[in-house]
Amino acid sequence: MSDTPKGKFLHTMIRVGDLDRSVEFYTRMFGMRELRRRDVPEGKYTLSFVGYGGNEAGEGEIELTYNYGVDKYDLGGAFGHLAIGVPDVAGACEAIRSAGGKVVREAGPVQHGTTIIAFVEDPDGYKIELIQR
Q: Beta strands of 1-133 (E only): which ranges?
A: 11-15, 33-40, 45-51, 61-67, 82-86, 102-109, 116-121, 127-132
Give the residue numbers marked as catalytic: 129
The order of strands in the sheet holding 116-121 is 82-86, 127-132, 116-121, 102-109
